[in-house]
Amino acid sequence: MSQHLVYVTAATNEEARAIAKTIVAERLAGALEWVYWWDGPVQSEPEVSFILKTKSELLEPLIARIKALHSYDCPCVVALPIAVGNLDFLNFIDKKTV
């Protein structure tokens, strides 16, 4: 079984917290001012990023759920595989997700 860190951004701390709480409650993952280009000019607005911990088989439902909860038309959701890590921590991810 392989685990992933999932990088997500949100418009506010409140939105990030709400998404993270729902994702953790549904056991899809465990729960973490931006300048960017979007739709023409360079934008500068507050943005929040957080990191979720999950396993491979939950990536598709996790991404779908984040998209359903998110205020953005095209939310940033990127999964990064964990190549090496603390085995106790990796086992924790397996136990805390469905």
Does residue 1 have a pLDDT over 70? no
pTM for this model (two decimals)? 0.72
Does residue 74 have a pLDDT over 80? yes
Edge-to-edge, what's the strand order for the sheet holding 3-10?
Answer: 48-55, 3-10, 77-81
User: At 24, is the secondary structure helix, strand, or coil?
Assistant: helix
**Rounded to a whole number, what is the distance in angstroms from the first to the last CA of the chain?**
13
CB within 8 A of 51, min separation 6: which ones? Answer: 5, 6, 7, 8, 32
Does residue 63 have a pLDDT over 90? yes
